[in-house]
């Protein structure tokens, strides 16, 4: 039994949710508008400012998608009202980031700068040379771009150098020691 799928979502007052033909859900809020197409086997009902996703049967695949569908709709509502944000830190001598128009330039120890084009639905800020803030209304897009930035130089456990999430804790390892 899906506990997440059974949840009834409440729509905030400053938010508008519309379900169109074929389960195309569109959510409008203070930060913008986002749409997502869902499987037509679910029945998405909106009544009295509440959203309920009803599944037609008890198949294993339907049970799995029931919770996912409810969670994605909830993330869409949160995204258009509050937005999502990921903060990254660059640790290492000479590691820095800069923004040039629509391109994020990373200097992370390679012989060349790494240039990444920023998707149009995201905003990227570089408050200092060692901090990157990625924000947007789509949770999946924010997380995916943050992961793509991080993969350029994942933090290593011996010196802690690399690109890490701000809240991430890197487990440090002890290096080799000279003779005893």
| 15-36 tens-digit pLDDT | 999 999 888 999 999 999 999 9
Eight-state DSSP code of residue 139: H
pLDDT reported for residue 144 = 97
pLDDT reported for residue 177 = 78
The rounded distance, in Å, linking the Cα atoms of 123 and 102 is 9
Convert the pLDDT of each residue in 79-137 to its tens digit. 999 999 999 999 999 999 999 999 999 999 999 999 999 999 999 999 999 999 999 99
Give the structural domain span for 102. Answer: 84-165
Domain membership of residue 175 (yes or no) is no
Query: Do 26 and 59 fall within a single domain?
Result: yes
* Domain limit, last residue, from 81, 113, 145: 81
DSSP SS3 for 104? strand
Please give the model's pTM, rounded to 2 decimal places: 0.89
Domain membership of residue 25 (yes or no) is yes
Domain membership of residue 176 (yes or no) is no
Largest CA distance in the chain: 73
Q: Whose CA is closest to 148, among 107, 115, 100, 111?
A: 115
Number of domains in the chain: 2
The rounded distance, in Å, linking the Cα atoms of 97 and 113 is 9
Residue 8 pLDDT > 70:
yes
pLDDT reported for residue 140 = 96
Residue 2 pLDDT > 80:
no
Residue 179 pLDDT > 70:
no
For helices 60-81 and 139-151, what crossing angle results, to 10°? 90
* Domain limit, last residue, from 41, 59, 81: 81
CATH at 41:
3.90.930.12
């Amino acid at each position: 039994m899906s506990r997440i799928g059974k949840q009834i979502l409440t729509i905030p007052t400053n938010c508008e949710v519309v379900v169109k033909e074929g389960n195309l859900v569109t959510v409008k809020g203070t930060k913008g508008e986002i749409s997502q197409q869902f499987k037509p086997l679910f029945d998405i009902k909106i009544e009295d400012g509440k959203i309920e996703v009803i599944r037609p049967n008890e198949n294993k695949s339907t049970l799995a998608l029931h919770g996912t569908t409810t969670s994605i709709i909830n993330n869409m509502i949160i995204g258009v009202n509050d937005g999502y944000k990921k903060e990254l830190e660059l640790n290492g001598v000479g590691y820095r980031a800069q923004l040039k128009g629509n391109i994020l330039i990373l200097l992370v120890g390679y012989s060349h700068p790494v240039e990444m084009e920023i998707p149009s639905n995201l905003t990227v800020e570089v408050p200092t040379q060692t901090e990157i803030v990625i924000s947007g209304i789509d949770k999946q897009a924010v997380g995916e771009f943050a992961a793509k930035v991080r993969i350029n130089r994942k933090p290593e456990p011996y010196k802690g150098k690399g690109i890490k999430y701000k809240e991430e804790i890197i487990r440090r390892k002890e290096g080799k020691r000279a003779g005893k």
